[in-house]
Copies of this chain bind each other. A is one copy, B any other.
Amino acid sequence: MTLTALSETLSAKPHIDDLMERVGLRMSFAKGEEIFGQDEDADMIHSVVSGAVRTMRLTSDGRRQIGDFYYPGDIIGLEIGDTYRFSAEALSDCVVRVIKRSSLHALNEDGGVDRTLWNATRRELERTQEHLLMLGRKSACERVASFLRDVAQRVGSEDVSLPMGRQDMADYLGLTIETVSRMVTQLQGSQIVEFANSRQFRVTRWPALERLAA
């Protein structure tokens, strides 16, 4: 990452966050509650303050695909034309700030807001492309390894706690719950990760995990 790109990234977040703090409505959602629904009118932009959120899509015959998981600081609701293409739900009790697209647009005197949202959209696109590569070409073991690596990297700390259950992981990775479970057990058997319980783990051998995540 270049210096300019870095500073842009760093400065962008506070800018939009300040704005949303000033104008945005603060809302709380209980665990499992729907923040917005698939195919609803998409006139809001959401920013996670605390907790975690999942976006997902349901096909007519009940298959589910998780789009992504969002943590504090992330912006949700960029991926849309006229209606939301994914629904968003609270993974845990959480707080989000909400602002109308139109309000945000009105505040865009210097073009800085648009620029910021565009950057956020590009980052979203990059994450989606990474996700795509995983679903298209990685084995079950590689998917789970990639996932655990990504979560651990994002958190940064020694001990990682997963805000989502196995079903959510499965629907994100394009696998079944059983396969996810088996792969986790396998990674644990290879001394690569260590689970205290089903939602708490630590990476014991980073190089091996990186190698598997490919």
Identify which of A125-133, A181-189, A197-205 touches chain B. Answer: A125-133
Contact A137 B214 (CB under 8 A): no
Query: In chain A, residues 40-92, which have Cβ atoms closer than 8 Å to a Cβ of chain B?
Result: 57, 59-61, 63-65, 67, 78-82, 85-86
- In the complex, A124 has a CB within 8 A of chain B: yes
- In the complex, which residues 140-189 of chain A have their Cβ closer than 8 Å to any Cβ of chain B? 171, 173-174
Residues of chain B contacted by A57 (CB below 8 angstroms): 133
Copies of this chain held together in the complex? 2
Q: Which of A18-26, A29-37, A114-122 contacts B (4 or more CB under 8 A)?
A: A114-122
Query: In the complex, what residues of B have CB within 8 A of residue A80's CB?
Result: 122, 126
Interface centre among A64, A115, A117, A174 (most CB of B within 10 A): A174
For the complex, give the distance between the alpha carbons of A60 and B142 in Å.
14
Report, nearest first, the 9 A-B pairs whose CB atoms are least far apart: A136-B174, A135-B135, A118-B118, A63-B137, A65-B136, A125-B125, A128-B128, A111-B111, A135-B136
Given A59-B137, A114-B115, A121-B125, 19 more pairs with CB closer than 8 A? A59-B133, A59-B214, A60-B214, A61-B214, A65-B133, A67-B129, A67-B132, A78-B122, A79-B125, A79-B129, A81-B123, A114-B114, A121-B121, A121-B122, A125-B125, A132-B132, A132-B135, A135-B174, A136-B171
